[in-house]
Structure 1
Amino acid sequence: MPDTPAPPANTSASSPPNPNMIVAVLAFAGIVVSLMQTLVIPIVPELPRLLNAQASDTAWAVTATLLAAAVATPIAGRLGDMYGKRRMLLTSLALLTIGSAAVALSDSLTPMIVGRLLQGLSAGVIPLGLSIMRDELPEDRLGASTALMSASLGIGAALGLPIAAFVADNFDWHALFWSSTALGALALVAVLTLVPESRVRTGGRFDLVGSLGLAGGLVCLLLAISKGGDWGWHSGTILGLFGAAVAIFLLWGLLELRTAQPLVDLRTTARPQVLFANLAGLAFGFSLFAIQLIVPQILQLPEQTGYGLGQDLLTVGLVLAPQGLIVMFAAPLSSKISQARGPKLTLMIGALIVAAGYALNLFLMSEIWHLVLVSCIIGAGIGFAYGALPMLIMGAVPVSETAAANAFNTLLRSIGSSIASAASGVILAQMTIDFAGHALPSEDSFKVVMAIGCGAALVAMLLASFLPRRRDAAASPAAPSETAATATPGQKA
């Protein structure tokens, strides 16, 4: 890489970057990317008709995004550490914008899936944004800002559904993706003009073999998880995919341990603070998906079932929307507790709040306000937990590995949600009632899923209890000497 100095990436080379503007732009970019998770939900049942394709084929509009996001997140984080976090952030937002435009222009299945795949490749935006904040913000601003950036995943997902439902009900479905194209382009321009590039880079060679191995293992694992219900959990294809995933990951781990500059530093990942933060993230990902699955179904099931509320998709979105606001308001409080008592306590509080929300949901599910209350309580827990996790990670890894480490934690949360989706789908499909000749999930099936969500949150709290007692993990541990040692002289975007 060249050592020739280049001017800073912000618009005014003579003035330092504005921390408030950096936080606002990066949080906006995170929300835009997380909107992609819920953007397609209102039209999924209509895709076979809209695209003139079979339902089993149109399901790839969701699956392709899931797989692309899982593969892209750790790779984007590592490339950001090596070649520039802002550069990879811009690349991710460009892929999001191009993918959104491709879907907006599509009227058939293939361009739809290609566009959704490109949208999924933008999933590294949030861990990259966290890493830019660590490099650029003063220490007293870092905790609250990273909490907000991490929580943007929950904010966008909660706000996206009512917006998408309103657009889908009142406009042509292509308008959903023209809107995401415009938002992606706006985020791209904002980052390009207002966010600087960091000097902190690792340099070296990219671990191509490691990236291919991780991608192969993730595709096998997540494909088996997401398609097990459709293809049969005992089918040779699904069992073969699970077996291939295990074999690939074992071989990948051995190669990573022998590689001088691995895609994922497994030795760093094995440190207690990183290990238990990642395991807690996996459990949280499992726990938090349940509320997104339960609430929409209970709200939309017919009232004649005795437990369904007979509402439309727009009402579902409006019920879940307050959760996004609660997540946003909980993030600063999460930061204050982390700074005062350490992120370990904050994470445990978040897990306990989520568990309490699910426990309450076992008894309060018969009125709309019950579900609003429960989703808001769980949203508060999300805000606490998602604010604490990046601080735990950044408190235990070198500043030059921030993006890769945060990306790996984000990946594990996504895997947890995918496992929860599969497990919940099996439960809801097995515990049914007959309603007008159709099998519908029973009330008890929802309660079982709620109980599992509560249990997963308690597991996350137990895992968090094993974290080292380190109050200094609430702030970036990167001393100036470490930053200087890991920065490549003269490198700016």
Structure 2
Amino acid sequence: MALSAGALESVVSPTIPLLERELGMSQSEGALLSIVLLITGALITPLAGRFGDRYGGKRVLVQLMAVVAVGGTVSALAPNLPVLLLGQVLQGAMVGALPLSFIVVRNNLPPGESKVAIGVVSGLFVGGGMVGMLSAGPVAEELSRHWMFALPTIAVAGATLLVNRLMPADPPSGSDDAGLDWPGLLLLSGMLVTLMLVLALAPEAGSQPGVLGALVVLLAVFAVGWVSVERRAASPVIDPRLLARPAIRTACVLTFVICLGTSMAVYLVPQLFDERGDGYGFGAGATEIGFFLLPGAVAATLAGPLGGIGDRRFGSRAVVGTGVVMMTVSLVALAAVHTEVWHLVVGKALIALANGLCVTAMMTGTATAVDAEDTGVATSLILVSRVLGYAVGGQLGGALLTAATPPGSDVAAESAYVTGFAIAAVVTSLALFVARTLPEGVEE
């Protein structure tokens, strides 16, 4: 299941330029497509654990993966962007299903074996992501874009049936007397969706100022309402009161800033591989882009354990500082030099490694800065900060390319890429000032 889900999750990234051409999307719409699955995941993840406790992990896991299979089917059959976005929203359930699978494994195996099994599940998901990244291009180019969603969806459906049939059921561990925070979840959903619409429409503000202004007002209403509801909720999905703690507030700000810089590079690099400009870009197809992005996926895989080891030995400040410097230098280098494929491949890999180091340190620091019963809520704040950073950065990159593409052309100016990498570098470098407030050395 983890292998097939990882493959389905990763097919969009290397094929964004191809999907933009086939569906007539702008770069801003392409950026929205690249992050919508992550947004759904941010909303599903806090609920998955609670539903698993209330109804049993296996039952909820199977139902979530059924939703993923439906989403993959919708994506495979999608004739246009709105339907494809709907499919990606449904596929976002897999983000919540993955940590839930860890709970199911832990409930069905002895402690020693469960640690190994969780590592295997994580490795299979990452391995599936690499398979999806490498296979999406050839499948889309030789068959069609529909099949690049259909094939992993068939595998997801088959794996879900096997899990439902072969995995023993785990009993509910208890009930949550406080209930589920549905008002907070709905307001958070509205806030994130409205933010995406604001960012998507920003490049066209001149032609639709009234619509954009109304969305900004609606976004403010959702944000104020969400904070008000969560402050009074008995069991909030995400408790904004935790932001009053300096360690949590610092971690959220750092995560947002770092992920903003990362997501701009994540979006701009494949676009530059595909670009066919005069003296810039490489005109690469989806298959080639998948191979070019693979080193970055490997680096991201290694970043988690390396970040954990570094945090334990040197402390969060040293790990985050190293990651921020590495990412800033890589972004500056990409802005200055991007004339060879290896420039982008190496730059993207270093950015992925730096991002993984920083986020791992933030998650570790947050988990140890709160009481055990607040760990889930606190790490949910980091997750939302990560999603917001990716959303803003990706949409900003798309907006820059859209604004720099002349009417009647599908080639963005080189200056848009330079500006995007430079802005990402400046924003990321600001994290150094925030990182100075992290505890120095190793916390005992």
Instruction: Indicate whether 1:268 and 2:242 are aligned.
Output: yes
Match of 1:253 among 213, 227, 232: 227
* Aligned mates of 1:276, 1:201 — CA distance in 2: 33
Judge conservation of contact 2:4–2:153 (CA < 8 Å) in 1: no
CA drift of 1:269 comes to 3.9
* Aligned mates of 2:228, 2:362 — CA distance in 1: 27
CA drift of 1:181 comes to 0.9
CA drift of 1:313 comes to 2.8
Judge conservation of contact 2:68–2:93 (CA < 8 Å) in 1: yes
**Number of the residue aligned with 2:151:** 179
* Aligned mates of 2:191, 2:14 — CA distance in 1: 27
Is the alpha carbon distance of 1:256 and 1:89 closer, same or farther for their aligned partners in structure 2, counting shifts above 3 Å?
A: same
**Number of the residue aligned with 1:372:** 345
Alignment of 1:377-396 (within 5 A): 377-396=350-369
* Aligned mates of 1:181, 1:91 — CA distance in 2: 15
**Number of the residue aligned with 1:464:** 435
Alignment of 1:32-431 (within 5 A): 32=7, 34-35=9-10, 37-38=12-13, 41=16, 43-48=18-23, 63=32, 66-67=35-36, 69-71=38-40, 73-81=42-50, 83-84=52-53, 88-105=60-77, 112-125=84-97, 128=100, 160-185=132-157, 188=160, 199=173, 203-230=177-204, 232=206, 235-302=209-276, 305-431=278-404
CA drift of 1:240 comes to 0.9
Amino acid at match of 2:302: F
Cα deviation digits, residues 94-125 of structure 1 (max 9, x gap): 21112112333555777655433311343334
* Aligned mates of 2:402, 2:356 — CA distance in 1: 31
**Number of the residue aligned with 1:14:** none
Is the alpha carbon distance of 1:29 and 1:402 closer, same or farther for their aligned partners in structure 2, counting shifts above 3 Å?
A: farther
Amino acid at match of 1:379: A
Is the alpha carbon distance of 1:374 and 1:134 closer, same or farther for their aligned partners in structure 2, counting shifts above 3 Å?
A: farther
CA drift of 1:83 comes to 4.3
Judge conservation of contact 2:59–2:169 (CA < 8 Å) in 1: no
Give the TM-score, by structure 2 length: 0.81
CA drift of 1:157 comes to 6.6
**Number of the residue aligned with 1:480:** none
CA drift of 1:211 comes to 1.5
* Aligned mates of 1:465, 1:408 — CA distance in 2: 21
* Aligned mates of 1:373, 1:118 — CA distance in 2: 33
Judge conservation of contact 1:127–1:407 (CA < 8 Å) in 2: no
Is the alpha carbon distance of 1:376 and 1:200 closer, same or farther for their aligned partners in structure 2, counting shifts above 3 Å?
A: farther
CA drift of 1:81 comes to 3.5
* Aligned mates of 1:273, 1:195 — CA distance in 2: 41
* Aligned mates of 1:353, 1:382 — CA distance in 2: 9
* Aligned mates of 2:442, 2:61 — CA distance in 1: 30
* Aligned mates of 2:373, 2:4 — CA distance in 1: 22
Is the alpha carbon distance of 1:120 and 1:106 closer, same or farther for their aligned partners in structure 2, counting shifts above 3 Å?
A: same
Out of 372-381 and 99-108, give the one that drifted further.
Answer: 99-108
Is the alpha carbon distance of 1:390 and 1:91 closer, same or farther for their aligned partners in structure 2, counting shifts above 3 Å?
A: farther
Cα deviation digits, residues 122-171 of structure 1 (max 9, x gap): 333456567789999979x98xx79x959978x87776444211110111
* Aligned mates of 2:34, 2:403 — CA distance in 1: 27
Q: Secondary structure at the match of 2:411?
A: strand
Amino acid at match of 1:229: P
Judge conservation of contact 1:355–1:458 (CA < 8 Å) in 2: yes
CA drift of 1:239 comes to 1.4
Judge conservation of contact 1:159–1:320 (CA < 8 Å) in 2: no
CA drift of 1:74 comes to 3.2
Q: How many aligned positions are there?
A: 438
* Aligned mates of 2:435, 2:105 — CA distance in 1: 24
* Aligned mates of 1:191, 1:456 — CA distance in 2: 44
Judge conservation of contact 1:427–1:445 (CA < 8 Å) in 2: yes
Judge conservation of contact 1:256–1:264 (CA < 8 Å) in 2: yes
CA drift of 1:454 comes to 1.4
CA drift of 1:381 comes to 0.9
CA drift of 1:386 comes to 3.4
* Aligned mates of 1:445, 1:178 — CA distance in 2: 35
* Aligned mates of 2:310, 2:94 — CA distance in 1: 31
* Aligned mates of 1:114, 1:316 — CA distance in 2: 25
CA drift of 1:257 comes to 0.9
Out of 290-299 and 161-170, give the one that drifted further.
Answer: 290-299
* Aligned mates of 2:123, 2:207 — CA distance in 1: 34
Cα deviation digits, residues 242-297 of structure 1 (max 9, x gap): 11111221122122112222221222343222222222121122111122232223
Amino acid at match of 2:414: E
Higher helix share: 2
Q: Secondary structure at the match of 1:261?
A: coil
Judge conservation of contact 1:38–1:157 (CA < 8 Å) in 2: no
CA drift of 1:403 comes to 4.2
Judge conservation of contact 1:74–1:404 (CA < 8 Å) in 2: no
Unaligned runs of 5+ in 1: 1-24, 49-53, 474-493
Out of 166-175 and 381-390, give the one that drifted further.
Answer: 381-390
* Aligned mates of 1:465, 1:130 — CA distance in 2: 34
Unaligned runs of 5+ in 2: none
* Aligned mates of 1:183, 1:397 — CA distance in 2: 40
Judge conservation of contact 2:134–2:294 (CA < 8 Å) in 1: yes
* Aligned mates of 1:109, 1:375 — CA distance in 2: 27
Amino acid at match of 1:179: L
**Number of the residue aligned with 1:453:** 424
Is the alpha carbon distance of 1:134 and 1:253 closer, same or farther for their aligned partners in structure 2, counting shifts above 3 Å?
A: farther
* Aligned mates of 2:427, 2:110 — CA distance in 1: 34
Is the alpha carbon distance of 1:91 and 1:228 closer, same or farther for their aligned partners in structure 2, counting shifts above 3 Å?
A: farther
* Aligned mates of 1:379, 1:337 — CA distance in 2: 16
Judge conservation of contact 1:77–1:407 (CA < 8 Å) in 2: yes
Give RMSD over aligned pairs: 4.1
